[in-house]
Amino acid sequence: MKKIISLGLAVLLSLFAFGCVSSSGESSGNGNSESTVWKVDETVMPFWKTNKIKNESILLVKEDISTPQGKLLFTPTEILSVVSYDNVRKTTVTYTLGEDFSVEGNVINAISDKMPFMTEDQVSGKERLAGFDYTQIPSTDGGLYLPFTEGSGFIERQIYVTYTYEEEWVGEKPKFAGDKLPKTIDKLSNKKDFELMIFGDSISTGANSTGVINVYPNEKSWPEKVWQSLETQYETKIGFLNKSVGGWTSENAIKSTESIGWVNGVQITQKGIGGVLEEMPNYKPDLVILGFGMNDATAGINKKTYKLYMQRIITLIRERNPECEFILLGTMLANPKALNQSKNQISYYEKLEELAQENKGVACVNIGKMHGEMLDKGKKYIDMTGNNVNHPNDFLASVYSMNILSLLIGE
């Protein structure tokens, strides 16, 4: 039987290739003990370090006459919960194995009409989707348009599965980056004053985390989760500043004049990093996480130019604080069916590798590679997105947190 449970607001890779964290080899670094006990919330505990995933998301899809179904990353040994979120009632809807769904290997099948789903024609744009407002964007399938929304429509149609498993993740496994970020680890380990700054595009603003768009269950954005997880792990207070702007490329990030963008759905104007620092004359970040690339690829910015812009950001910040260290994020992938947005974003990561090789105190992590590996394992893009184009949902945002925290917390 479906149960409705009222809840309050949610409270809540080692070898370095070109200086970046890769999926193999050993990592030695400052602050990396033989065995580090992770103290973080289970939603951001790296799934490759444990045998449990919290709230992996699926959007069940009905193809032709089949039952609605979707795939998990692993074959579960035990299903702990399957839920969806009702934003109108601010409640968690719980589904029961054998009554509402069945499990075959890593496939979840809806066996009652209580579980949310979409048809394949609705996903592809052949059929109009009723029940929420959305716009449409051109698909790579000629003549079709994909549903797109910055609201909660897809999120409310996704289910979230918590389960245990025995399989090993054989894909990208980011490793502790203590040797690349020694000053950061020293300051955190010794509870020194520390300032964390996030600077990127809309993904780095937190779009489409439920807490950012203010819908149930109001999960915090990945930047907030990284910040608060570091405070919890290192048992210290950390200063936090997020100057990310939606719609921006790395070119906007270095401009001395103001550019238009969006933060939490509100249009703003902001100067590039030089102007930001000018307006904060006493601000000296210790670690800056840079998240540009999604829009650079979409806008067709040359990869060599992208590298120059990213280097300029690093240089400008180090003019303020020469000791500042950096994490460069390889962006998640855009929907491969989104004609105008999917432009080989993952290829820009090679330029981040080069920057990490050429600059001390710089590490990078390839979130796009992990995202692609999840899709290769059978996940659908719509399983892990908030807007169906280029933003994560709460689960993929947690994958961002897992990747970043893996660089900053010992093995």
pLDDT of residue 34: 55
Same-domain status, 174 and 65: no
Last residue of a domain, one of 165, 198, 226: 165
Classify strands 20-21 and 52-58 as parallel, antiparallel or unpaired.
unpaired
Output the six-digit token pair for 169: 């993740």
Long-range contacts of 131-138 (CB under 8 A, 24+ apart): 132/156, 137/338, 137/339, 137/340, 137/341, 137/389, 138/338, 138/339, 138/340
Same-domain status, 158 and 198: no
Does 250 score more than 50 pLDDT? yes
pLDDT of residue 26: 34
How many angstroms separate the Cα of 235 from the Cα of each of 34, 40, 227, 238?
A: 19, 11, 12, 10
Average pLDDT over residues 297-322: 98
Output the six-digit token pair for 331: 């962006």
Same-domain status, 289 and 331: yes
Conformation bin of residue 62: beta by default, left when phi > 0, alpha when psi is -120 to 50: beta
- How open is the CA angle 79-84-89, to the nearest 5 degrees? 140
- Asked if the structure places residue 3 within a domain, the reply is no
pTM beyond cutoff 0.85: yes
pLDDT of residue 19: 42
Output the six-digit token pair for 280: 């904060």
Q: How far apart are CA 51 and CA 47, in angstroms?
A: 7
Instruction: Supply the CATH number for residue 402's domain.
Output: 3.40.50.1110
Burial class (CB in 10 A: 0-12, 13-18, 19+), 250: buried
Q: How far apart are CA 67 and CA 61, in angstroms?
A: 8
pLDDT of residue 129: 86
Average pLDDT over residues 32-48: 86
Does 18 score more than 60 pLDDT? no
- Contact between 261 and 79 under an 8 Å Cβ cutoff? The reply is no
Instruction: State the DSSP code for 347.
Output: G
Query: Each residue of 259-286: pLDDT tens digit?
Result: 999 999 999 999 999 999 999 999 999 9
Last residue of a domain, one of 147, 165, 183: 165
Query: Each residue of 371-409: pLDDT tens digit?
Result: 999 999 999 999 999 999 999 999 999 999 999 999 999
To which H or E segment does residue 313 belong?
helix 303-320
Quick one: pLDDT band at residue 5, thresholds 50, 70, 90?
A: very low
Does 335 score more than 90 pLDDT? yes
Collapsed DSSP state (helix, strand, coil) of residue 116? coil
Same-domain status, 141 and 227: no
Does 47 score more than 90 pLDDT? yes
Note the residue count of the chain. 411
Same-domain status, 95 and 59: yes
- Asked if the structure places residue 259 within a domain, the reply is yes
Same-domain status, 394 and 366: yes
- Asked if the structure places residue 204 within a domain, the reply is yes
Q: How far apart are CA 83 and CA 119, in angstroms?
A: 20
Does 211 score more than 70 pLDDT? yes
Does 30 score more than 70 pLDDT? no
Quick one: pLDDT band at residue 348, thresholds 50, 70, 90?
A: very high
Domain that holds residue 367: 16-39+170-408
Same-domain status, 231 and 124: no
Average pLDDT over residues 46-75: 97
Query: Each residue of 92-114: pLDDT tens digit?
Result: 999 999 999 999 999 999 999 99
CB atoms within 10 A of CB 141: 13
pLDDT of residue 340: 96
pLDDT of residue 133: 84
- Asked if the structure places residue 291 within a domain, the reply is yes
151 residue type, one letter: G
Does 251 score more than 50 pLDDT? yes
Same-domain status, 375 and 404: yes
- Asked if the structure places residue 276 within a domain, the reply is yes
Quick one: pLDDT band at residue 20, thresholds 50, 70, 90?
A: low
pLDDT of residue 339: 97
Same-domain status, 253 and 297: yes
Query: Each residue of 135-146: pLDDT tens digit?
Result: 999 999 999 999
pLDDT of residue 132: 82
Average pLDDT over residues 118-132: 92
Does 67 score more than 50 pLDDT? yes
Same-domain status, 220 and 149: no
Using only the alpha carbons of the chain, give its radius of gyration: 21
- Asked if the structure places residue 10 within a domain, the reply is no
pLDDT of residue 24: 35
pLDDT of residue 66: 87
pLDDT, averaged across the chain: 92
- Asked if the structure places residue 220 within a domain, the reply is yes
Does 79 score more than 70 pLDDT? yes
Same-domain status, 370 and 264: yes
Does 11 score more than 60 pLDDT? no
Same-domain status, 377 and 307: yes
pLDDT of residue 65: 80
Does 13 score more than 60 pLDDT? no
- Asked if the structure places residue 252 within a domain, the reply is yes
Candidates 210, 190, 215, 226; CA nearest to 327 is: 226
Residue 20 makes CB contacts below 8 A (sequence gap 6+) with 328, 352, 353, 356, 363, 364, 365, 366
Last residue of a domain, one of 165, 185, 200: 165
| The total number of structural domains that make up the chain | 2
In DSSP terms, 70 is beta-bridged to 108
pLDDT of residue 73: 99
